[in-house]
Amino acid sequence: MSKFSHVLITGASSGIGEALALYYASAGVRRLSICGRNAERLEKVAEKCRQNGCEVETKILDVVDASAIAEWINLCNAQMPLNLVFANAGVASLDESSDNVRNTFNINVFGVVNTVLPILELFKKAPSEQVKHLVITASVAGYHGLPACPSYSATKACVKAWGEALRPRLKKIGVNVSVVCPGFVRSRITDKNTCPMPFFMEADAAAKLIAERVEKNVGLIAFPWPMRFAVWLGSILPNCISDFIYGRLPYKV
């Protein structure tokens, strides 16, 4: 049984977001607030969650719209105080065209910012005894810039660093922060991949691992461990060595 009663998840219509919603519904949370951009997929997720007796609030919105997501978050909190929030919505692409780079930064960085800021305002005003936990989804790609996906790895490095910095800062006011850095997990994104995906995980297994570590208030949830070790090692190597290694990985210009 989860210690959280009201969980909010952005990007919940597929992938890790969907799997987290299903996990928490089965774990006995009283209420789920989930959003996404595809109404049909989001409603299917909601129906599965409701079969476990969970109340589910759905909302179709784009996390880039700061006023819309702030309004929705405040409404959800007014209905029942939020305990756990996943700033999870994100996109990934190997397309480095100007439009796509801007879209990747808008969703992966500013979408997270637009979710986190109103949540922090609510958490700061909440009673001290209320459980308050924020989870930011980054990626193992955020450990080092990847030539195959420069904009994606840059955006994930940004939100990873922000979450890690927020954790000790917000601990003083009773707000816990975790940063999730998954490797390759089944999603609509990885379904399109043609490149090798070492240590591939199913979304339900990833969600279970994330939820269990959030429950223990783990600050950095990076997995699977061989992938975490490899990207960590790449991040501390001298540039002359990392340039040699990353420069030989396949990618398109």
- Cα gap 239→36, rounded to integer Å: 39
Q: Can you state the angle between helices 66-79 and 111-125, rounded to 10 degrees?
A: 30
What value, to the nearest 5°, has the Cα angle with vertex 64 and ends 59 and 70? 55
- Name every residue whose Cβ is closer than 8 Å to that of residue 29 and which is 6 or more positions away in sequence: 2, 4, 5, 6, 7, 54
- Record the tokens describing residue 38, joined without a space: 């595809």
Kindly list the catalytic residues: 152
Output the CA torsion sign for 207, 1, 63, 51: positive
59 φ, ψ to 5°? -150, 130
Cβ 133 vs Cβ 175: under 8 Å: yes
Q: How many CB atoms lie within 10 A of CB 174?
A: 15
Residues in the chain: 253
Find where tokens 């939820």 sit. Answer: 211
